[in-house]
Amino acid sequence: MDKTIYKSRLRNKGQVTVPQEIRNLLGAEEGDDLLFYTDEAGRIMVSRAQTIDPEQAWFCSDRWQRMEQETQADLDAGRIVEYANIAEALAALDEIPAGDDAED
C-alpha cells in the first residue's frame, strides 16, 4: 500500500486542519462530523460520521436488522411462496387463521 504522509499543525484548543487530500478521501465537507478511534494495534483511525436521515433511522434499528437477517435466511433456505398476482397473495393471507404464528 502506498504510504503518503500529510502534515498538519495542532492549534489552540486542539484544532487541526484536515488536509484537503484527506478530506477528499473521506468525502468530508465543511460541517461534517469526523470520528476518531483506535484499532486493535493502537493506531488512530479517522472516518466521516455517516448521518442517518431521521425518516430512515428505523432501518438501522436492531429489530429491523434482525428481521432483515431472518428474511434473508428464509430466502436462502427457499422458504418462500410466489404468487402470480397481488389478488392471489392477499387471498392466501386471508386464509391464515387469526393468531396463527409462522414461527416454529
If one counts every other C-beta atom within 10 angstroms of the C-beta of residue 23, the result is 16
Rounded-to-integer distance, Cα 32 and Cα 25, Å: 14
pTM of this structure: 0.46
Return the pLDDT at 1. Answer: 61
Share of the chain above pLDDT 90, in %: 69
User: 36 and 44 in contact (C-beta within 8 Å)?
Assistant: yes
Is residue 19 classed exposed, middle or buried when 0-12, 13-18 and 19+ CB atoms within 10 A define those classes?
Answer: middle
Return the pLDDT at 52. Answer: 78
Q: Are strands 44-48 and 34-38 parallel, antiparallel or unpaired?
A: antiparallel
Return the pLDDT at 100. Answer: 57
Q: Is the pLDDT of residue 104 over 50?
A: no
Q: Is the pLDDT of residue 101 over 80?
A: no
Q: Where are the beta strands (DSSP E) in 25-76?
A: 34-38, 44-48
Give tens-digit pLDDT for 49-67: 987 777 888 888 899 999 9
Q: Which three cell numbers stand for residue 64?
A: 429491523
Name the 3-class secondary structure at 29. coil
Return the pLDDT at 61. Answer: 87
Q: Is the pLDDT of residue 103 over 70?
A: no
